[in-house]
Chain A
Amino acid sequence: MVVYSARNEQLIKPLFDAYTKETGARVKFITDKEGPLLERLKAEGEHTPADLLITVDAGNLWRAAQEGLLKPTQSTVLQENIPAHLRDPENRWFGLSVRARTIVYNTQKVKPSDLSTYEDLADPKWKGRLCLRTSKKVYNQSLVAMMISEHGEPKTEQIIKSWVGNLATDVFSDDTQVMKAIAAGQCDVGIVNTYYYGRLLVKEPTLPLALFWPNQNGSGVHVNISGAGIIKHAKHEQAALKLLEWLSSQKAQNLFSDTDMEYPANPKIAPDKRVASWGSFKQNLINVSKAGELQDEAVKLMDRAGYK
Chain B
Amino acid sequence: MMKPDVLKVPFERGVSFFQRAFLDRWQAATLSIAGLVLIPLAVVLFSVFSETNEVWLHFVQTSLVTLLTNTFWLLLGVGVGTTFLGVSLAWLTAACDFPGRRWLDWALMLPLSLPPYVVAFVSIGLLDFTGPVQTQLRLWLGVERLWFPRIRSTGGVIAVMTLTLYPYVYMLARNAFLTQGRRAIEAAQSLGQGRFRGFLGVALPMARPWIVGGLALVLMETLADFGTVSIFNYDTFTTAIYKAWFGLFSLSAAAQLASLLVFIVFVVLLIEQRSRSRRRFSHAGRSSVADRISLRGGRGWLAFAYAISVLGIAFIIPVGQLSVWAFGVFRQDFDLRYLSFLGHSVFLGGAAALLTCAGALILVSANRLRNDLMTRTAVRVATLGYALPGSVLAVGIFIPLIWIDKQMIEWIQTLFGIEIGFILSGTLAAMLLAYLIRFLAVAHGAVDSAMNRITPSLDETARCLGVSGIPLLRKVYLPLLRGGLLTAALLVFVDVMKEMPITLMTRPFGWDTLSVRIFEMTSEGEWERAALPAVALVLTGFIPILLLSRYSSREP
Q: Which residues of A line the B interface, CB within 8 A?
A: 2, 6, 8-11, 28-36, 39-40, 43-45, 47, 49, 56, 63, 134, 136, 138, 141, 169-177, 180-181, 183-186, 196, 199, 260, 295-296, 299-300, 303-304, 308
B249 at the interface (CB under 8 A from A): yes
Question: Which of B264-272, B451-459, B517-525 lies at the interface?
Answer: B517-525
B1 at the interface (CB under 8 A from A): no
Question: Which of B171-179, B202-210, B504-512 lies at the interface?
Answer: B504-512
A36 in contact with B130 (CB, 8 Å): no
Question: Which of B11-19, B81-89, B399-407 lies at the interface?
Answer: B399-407
Q: Which residue of B lies closest to A168 (CB)?
A: B129
- Distance (Å) between the CB of A91 and the closest chain B CB? 22
**How many angstroms from the CA of A63 to the CA of B22 in the assembled complex?**
53
B398 at the interface (CB under 8 A from A): yes
Q: Which residue of A lies closest to B247 (CB)?
A: A299
Known contacts being A39-B398, A43-B398, A171-B233, is A136 close to B520, with CB within 8 Å? no
B509 in contact with A33 (CB, 8 Å): no
B248 in contact with A33 (CB, 8 Å): no
Interface residues on B, range: 35 or more
B391 in contact with A35 (CB, 8 Å): yes
**B279 contacts across to A, CB distance below 8 A:** none
Q: Which residues of B (483-535) have their CB < 8 Å from a CB of A?
A: 501, 504-505, 507, 509-510, 512, 516, 519-521, 523-526
**How many angstroms from the CA of A186 to the CA of B145 in the assembled complex?**
8
Q: Which residues of B line the A interface, CB within 8 A?
A: 58, 61-63, 124, 128-130, 135, 144, 150, 152, 230-233, 235, 239, 242-243, 245-251, 391, 394-395, 398-399, 402-403, 405-406, 409, 421-422, 426, 501, 504-505, 507, 509-510, 512, 516, 519-521, 523-526
Closest 8 CB pairs of A and B: A299-B247, A180-B130, A303-B62, A184-B130, A174-B525, A43-B402, A32-B504, A8-B520
Q: Which residue of A lies closest to B144 (CB)?
A: A185
B504 in contact with A47 (CB, 8 Å): no
**How many angstroms from the CA of A33 to the CA of B395 in the assembled complex?**
12
**A136 contacts across to B, CB distance below 8 A:** 230, 233, 239, 242-243, 247
- Distance (Å) between the CB of B532 and the closest chain A CB? 12
Q: List 29 A-B contacts (CB under 8 A).
A: A8-B519, A8-B521, A10-B521, A31-B523, A32-B505, A33-B391, A35-B242, A40-B505, A43-B399, A43-B403, A44-B422, A47-B406, A49-B421, A49-B426, A134-B233, A136-B239, A136-B247, A172-B233, A173-B230, A173-B231, A173-B233, A181-B129, A184-B129, A186-B129, A186-B130, A295-B247, A296-B250, A299-B243, A304-B61
Contacting A169 at CB < 8 Å: which of B129, B519, B523? Answer: B129
- Distance (Å) between the CB of A11 and the closest chain B CB? 7
Q: Mostly helix, strand, loop or mixed at chain B's interface?
A: helix
A33 in contact with B523 (CB, 8 Å): yes
**How many angstroms from the CA of A170 to the CA of B231 in the assembled complex?**
12
**A296 contacts across to B, CB distance below 8 A:** 247-250
B525 in contact with A40 (CB, 8 Å): no
**How many angstroms from the CA of A49 to the CA of B508 in the assembled complex?**
12
How many residue pairs bridge A and B at CB < 8 Å? Answer: 126
**B128 contacts across to A, CB distance below 8 A:** 177
**B409 contacts across to A, CB distance below 8 A:** 47
B249 in contact with A295 (CB, 8 Å): yes
- Distance (Å) between the CB of B494 and the closest chain A CB? 23
Q: Which residue of B lies closest to A174 (CB)?
A: B525
**How many angstroms from the CA of A296 to the CA of B54 in the assembled complex?**
11
- Distance (Å) between the CB of A271 and the closest chain B CB? 18
- Distance (Å) between the CB of A295 and the closest chain B CB? 7
A303 in contact with B129 (CB, 8 Å): no
Known contacts being A11-B524, A136-B247, A170-B152, is A31 close to B504, with CB within 8 Å? yes
A35 in contact with B130 (CB, 8 Å): no
**How many angstroms from the CA of A260 to the CA of B521 in the assembled complex?**
13
**How many angstroms from the CA of A144 to the CA of B526 in the assembled complex?**
25
Contacting B520 at CB < 8 Å: which of A2, A9, A63? Answer: A9
B405 in contact with A47 (CB, 8 Å): yes
Contacting A36 at CB < 8 Å: which of B233, B239, B505, B512? Answer: B505
Q: Which residue of B lies closest to A300 (CB)?
A: B58
**How many angstroms from the CA of A30 to the CA of B520 in the assembled complex?**
11
Q: Which residue of A lies closest to B425 (CB)?
A: A44
**How many angstroms from the CA of A176 to the CA of B522 in the assembled complex?**
12
**A186 contacts across to B, CB distance below 8 A:** 129-130
**How many angstroms from the CA of A43 to the CA of B397 in the assembled complex?**
11
**How many angstroms from the CA of A78 to the CA of B426 in the assembled complex?**
33
Contacting B233 at CB < 8 Å: which of A34, A300, A303, A308? Answer: A308
Q: Which residue of B lies closest to A34 (CB)?
A: B246
**How many angstroms from the CA of A138 to the CA of B525 in the assembled complex?**
14
A44 in contact with B402 (CB, 8 Å): yes
B248 in contact with A30 (CB, 8 Å): no
Q: Which residue of B lies closest to A62 (CB)?
A: B249
Q: Which residue of A lies closest to B134 (CB)?
A: A184
- Distance (Å) between the CB of B526 and the closest chain A CB? 8
